[in-house]
Amino acid sequence: MEEKTAPRNRDEQEIAGYRDVLNIILESFDAIPVSRNYILQLHKIMYSHMNNPIAGKTKNVQNYISAVHPDGHTEILFTPLDPFETPEALDRICEEYNRVIGNMEVEPLIAIPVFVHDFLCIHPFNDGNGRMSRLLTTLLLYRNGFYVGKYISLEAKIEQTQDLYYGALRRSQDGWNEGCEDKLSFIKYLLGIILAAYKDFEDRFSIVEVKMPAVDMVRKAVQSKIGRFNKQDIRELCPALSISSIEGSLRKLVKSGEIKREGSGKAIHYVRLK
């Protein structure tokens, strides 16, 4: 039996906790109701590899959404709810979401971004709000029959479009505390992420649906890439292949002149030549 290695630092602890929650969602999404208590439990699990005394508890200090400008000064962009308002607000958005989904008043693909947006505006935790919002997005998609998060990382998609993410969130937060916000920009952004994930899944399926030698599978994945890419990008498109098979196939494609290798160490990437 293979022994698991304990996380060595904060980054690894955060990743391990995130994966724990993601696995629970993927395996038991239909048994996880949308409620404050369950959200708090998931947050606690997310910090299970760290010594965080407020894991699983709503914030105990006021937090702010801010931006640091090039000259060094910090600008507060948005002030979330006070700590004492937070538990009731979480209850309220869960109840509202469950009501509109239960009554089929609103399409799930509209209700989900609205819920996530309101969650981020409440900013219920001292730490981990962004990661929790991504996990809740996956949970809500699963509960409504959209399973793309099992195959394509929504977290990675959002990470790759951070400027668009923060821009859409900032525009849609304006006026939220007064109840006059326009959530449309955030809804469009999150729907764009979901659509991009499904397109990636379609590309991945087209590569793996026909059985072919590893080098041909990697070649097909490479041909779907424009600009620089790394072996992890290829691995996402070829999940059936081991990392050693992918590395070997990439070496063959470099040798045949189909791609060019650049950089060294962790910075190694490739560029398509044909």
User: Which of the listed residues 162, 178, 204 is the one where a domain comes to its end?
Assistant: 204
pLDDT of residue 2: 39
Say how many C-beta atoms besides its own lie within 10 A of residue 195's C-beta.
Answer: 12
Report DSSP state, residue 266: G
Q: 3-class DSSP state for residue 179? A: coil
Instruction: Tell me which residue has tokens 């699983």.
Output: 56
pLDDT at residue number 143: 95
Contacts of 129 (CB under 8 A, 6+ apart): 119, 120, 123
Do 92 and 164 belong together in one domain? yes
- Co-location of 67 and 195 in the same domain: yes
d(CA 195, CA 179): 29
Residues 200 and 218 in one domain: no
Asked if residue 154 and residue 125 are part of one domain, the reply reads yes
Last residue of a domain, one of 177, 204, 231: 204
Q: What is the pLDDT of residue 9?
A: 64
Number of structural domains in the chain? 2
The verdict on residue 2 lying in a domain is: no
Q: Do both 174 and 72 map to the same domain?
A: yes
Residue 19 lies in a domain: no
Tens-place pLDDT, residues 241-269 = 888 899 999 999 999 999 999 988 878 99
pLDDT of residue 132: 96
* 224 belongs to a structural domain: yes
Q: Percent of the chain scored above 90 by pLDDT?
A: 59
pLDDT at 3: 41
Q: Are 133 and 21 in contact (CB under 8 A)?
A: no
Kindly state the tokens that stand for 202.
């379609």
Q: Is 109 exposed, middle or buried (0-12, 13-18, 19+ CB in 10 A)?
A: middle
- Please give the structure tokens belonging to residue 189: 């952004």
Q: Residue 260: which domain range?
A: 210-272
Q: Tell whether 159 and 242 lie within a shared domain.
A: no
Classified as helix, coil or strand, 270 is: strand
Q: Domain holding 154: CATH number?
A: 1.10.3290.10
User: Same domain, yes or no, for 194 and 264?
Assistant: no
Q: Which of 188, 33, 46 is nearest to 117 (CA)?
A: 188
Claim to verify: residue 126 and residue 200 sit in the same structural domain: yes
Q: Are residues 167 and 262 in the same domain?
A: no
Domain stop point among 187, 204, 221: 204
Tokens at residue 12, please? 């690894």
Which stretches in the chain have pLDDT values below 70? 1-10, 205-210
**148 in the same domain as 244:** no
The CATH number that applies at residue 264 is 1.10.10.10
Answer yes or no: are the C-beta atoms of 269 and 253 closer than 8 Å.
Answer: no
**Helix and strand tally (H, E) in the chain?**
11, 5
Q: What is the pLDDT of residue 118?
A: 97
The model's pTM is 0.75
Are 65 and 145 in a shared domain?
Answer: yes
